[in-house]
Amino acid sequence: MEPHLSPSNFHLTKPIRSRSFHSVSLESMAVGTRCDFLIMGAGVAGLRAALELAPHGNVLVVTKESVSESNTHYAQGGIAVAMEGDEDIELHLEDTIAAGDGLVHRPAAQILVSEGPLRVEELIDWGAHFDSKNGRLLRTREAAHSRPRILHANGDATGAEISRSLAAMAHAQSSIHFAEWTTVASLVTEDGRVIGADLLDAENRLHRLSARSVLIAAGGAGQVYSDTTNPAVATGDGIALAAFAGAELADMEFFQFHPTALSLPGVPRFLLSEALRGEGAVLRNDRGERFMERYHPNLELAPRDVVARAVAREGMGSAPGELHPVFLDMRHVIAIDLHMRFPGITAFLAQHALDLHRDLIPIRPAAHYLMGGIRTSLEGRTSLQGLYAAGEAASTGLHGANRLASNSLLEGLVFGARAAQAMLVDALPPEEPHELSAQSMLQTPPIEEIEALISRLQQAMGHFAGLLRDESLLQQGIAAQVEIQSDIDSCTRRNSKITRRLIEAKSLACVAGAILRAALARTESRGAHFRNDFPRRDDAQFLKHSIYRCNQSVAFEPL
């Protein structure tokens, strides 16, 4: 794909803005306007990959905000890992496959559970501290796990600890550089191979950088919905950039909603970890009934999609748009000091005068995790040469139609390392650099217009492609997405400028289009994808992955 801005407009003048002493200007790197390995995203997958690549060349990790601002950082409950030998590993595999509702790519799950213990031990050696007692790691249970196998850190701050320890290790490597507050504007391709990227700095200057290979580890796209547990950075940029460059996406219809996000007017949809239910929390409707008894024998620890739909149904009023409150109830759990076990959650609730020991906590599902993403092999190779993907941005088929709770941090470690290994095997030799250099002064388009477009898209997605879907809703969603996409394009043309927010708007519209079209094509219900008009799983037709291409086509391929 041709870069979308003409190289003749560019000349490199100023460095990419640095906001921490580990960040670099591109000019200050020995590599100048090229690096060996370019990584988009500083979450668990990106950082783990960077550490694997570090001994073999210059690595540039590009991230839209600071290194600590990723979906990884906000992960609460923990990291699922089977560290008790073969039987434990086999059970973890079975649970992962069962949660995925028929669509898990078994070899991917096998790799996750068998390589996971080594990756976690390595992380502990690098300085990650998981909660322990008398020298033994503590493990909790979450939904659809047959045994307690979730390690946690600082109670409910597991992602932050993993992010901290990987970042500390990365900062200690002289060959790893960070460009913080920098957005990837587009991938640069030549003869079908990805050879670099255009990077937009915090002052809206564009820099072109070449790389021997590029890894997208930029996380998910929760921001495509207005109700999400994801931070503002989760706008699916990596997935959209790959699609724009011609890479295939897979299983985009499977978006996992977390059943228990805090629901208070005007308050962010703060995640109330599944670990709360693992430690005994129950769910109640506005009549005080423990309603999960009517939905699944495993009650509150049923698969996440089952619990999320149950919460949504219990919260529906009889009139359209009418909502009844639904609650998480932990008042009966007296054997645990909940303030000690869940310090982050209890502190957030306290800011809103709520206490797990005393109060019913109002909840509602919120968009949480995209099972689909850039289609990759087990080694993180995408359908484009030179482009790799790992973590939530990627789709190996590991999660099938519904991710098992706390498998994603482990996925980032395992598949981040594997993608890096493939990059080393495939990379162009260093003596064949592509000399690219570009920079342009750009102005800011009207921010309100872009914000309004994003907000329209988010509302439309919640309404038309949420937990409960049908053909009519999805068709209306596609019509809305097409209109919003066209308004974004027209905003771009009128302003002929680019900003981070505009890139995010384009990314969200692309991801929304893929979700809607894949969801329309899958005329069955499976895992996180539920169709009111096709309420049953249809293995005869749909034991297949959906493949989405940027020309908006959807095809199905057998597992």
Q: What is the largest CA-CA distance in the chain?
A: 70
Is 166 within 8 Å of 409 (Cβ atoms)?
no
Separation of alpha carbons 248 and 236, rounded Å: 14
CB-wise, 99 or 502, nearer to ligand SIN? 99
Separation of alpha carbons 349 and 328, rounded Å: 12
What residues are paired with 185 via a beta bridge? none
Binding-site member from 183, 186, 408, 439 for ligand SIN (CB under 6 A): 408
Is 195 within 8 Å of 212 (Cβ atoms)?
no
CB-wise, 181 or 369, nearer to ligand SIN? 369
- 406 near ligand SIN, rule: CB under 6 A: yes
Please list every residue from 188 through 247 that binds ligand SIN, using CB under 6 A: none
Nearest-approach distance from CB 72 to ligand SIN, in angstroms = 11
Stretch that binds ligand SIN, among 51-59, 268-276, 457-465, 533-541 (CB under 6 A): 268-276
Read out DSSP for 405-446? TT-HHHHHHHHHHHHHHHHHHHPPPTTS--------B-PPPP
Is 214 within 8 Å of 187 (Cβ atoms)?
yes
CB-wise, 300 or 314, nearer to ligand SIN? 300
Stretch that binds ligand SIN, among 269-277, 314-322, 339-347, 431-439 (CB under 6 A): 269-277
- 392 near ligand SIN, rule: CB under 6 A: no
Separation of alpha carbons 220 and 97, rounded Å: 21
- 300 near ligand SIN, rule: CB under 6 A: no
- 163 near ligand SIN, rule: CB under 6 A: no
Is 33 within 8 Å of 437 (Cβ atoms)?
yes
Q: Name the DSSP letter for residue 173.
A: -
Compute, in degrees rounded to 10, the torsion defined by CA atoms 316, 321, 322, 327: 50
Number of residues located near ligand SIN, criterion CB under 6 A: 10
CB-wise, 36 or 142, nearer to ligand SIN? 142
Tell me if residue 244 falls in helix, strand or coil. Answer: helix
CB-wise, 103 or 454, nearer to ligand SIN? 103
Stretch that binds ligand SIN, among 104-112, 235-243, 401-409, 499-507 (CB under 6 A): 401-409
- 405 near ligand SIN, rule: CB under 6 A: yes
Please list every residue from 359 through 378 that binds ligand SIN, using CB under 6 A: 368-369
CB-wise, 100 or 196, nearer to ligand SIN? 100
Separation of alpha carbons 231 and 196, rounded Å: 27
Nearest-approach distance from CB 537 to ligand SIN, in angstroms = 23
Stretch that binds ligand SIN, among 19-27, 307-315, 403-411, 517-525 (CB under 6 A): 403-411
Separation of alpha carbons 312 and 324, rounded Å: 10
Binding-site member from 96, 163, 273, 346 for ligand SIN (CB under 6 A): 273
Please list every residue from 445 through 484 that binds ligand SIN, using CB under 6 A: none
Q: Name the DSSP letter for residue 531.
A: B
Nearest-approach distance from CB 258 to ligand SIN, in angstroms = 6
Separation of alpha carbons 274 and 30, rounded Å: 46
Residues labelled catalytic: 304
CB-wise, 200 or 345, nearer to ligand SIN? 345
Separation of alpha carbons 348 and 261, rounded Å: 12
Separation of alpha carbons 364 and 285, rounded Å: 11
Q: H or E stretch including 361?
A: strand 360-370
By beta carbon distance, the residue nearest ligand SIN is: 77
Binding-site member from 77, 246, 466, 477 for ligand SIN (CB under 6 A): 77
Rg for the chain, CA atoms, rounded: 22
Q: What are phi and psi of 545, to 5 degrees?
A: -90, 140
What residues are paired with 262 via a beta bridge? 363
Binding-site member from 63, 72, 76, 458 for ligand SIN (CB under 6 A): 76
- 140 near ligand SIN, rule: CB under 6 A: no
Stretch that binds ligand SIN, among 48-56, 271-279, 349-357, 452-460 (CB under 6 A): 271-279
CB-wise, 366 or 453, nearer to ligand SIN? 366
Binding-site member from 161, 198, 274, 392 for ligand SIN (CB under 6 A): 274
Is 367 within 8 Å of 392 (Cβ atoms)?
no
Binding-site member from 242, 275, 410, 518 for ligand SIN (CB under 6 A): 275
Enumerate binding residues for ligand SIN (CB under 6 A). 76-77, 273-275, 368-369, 405-406, 408
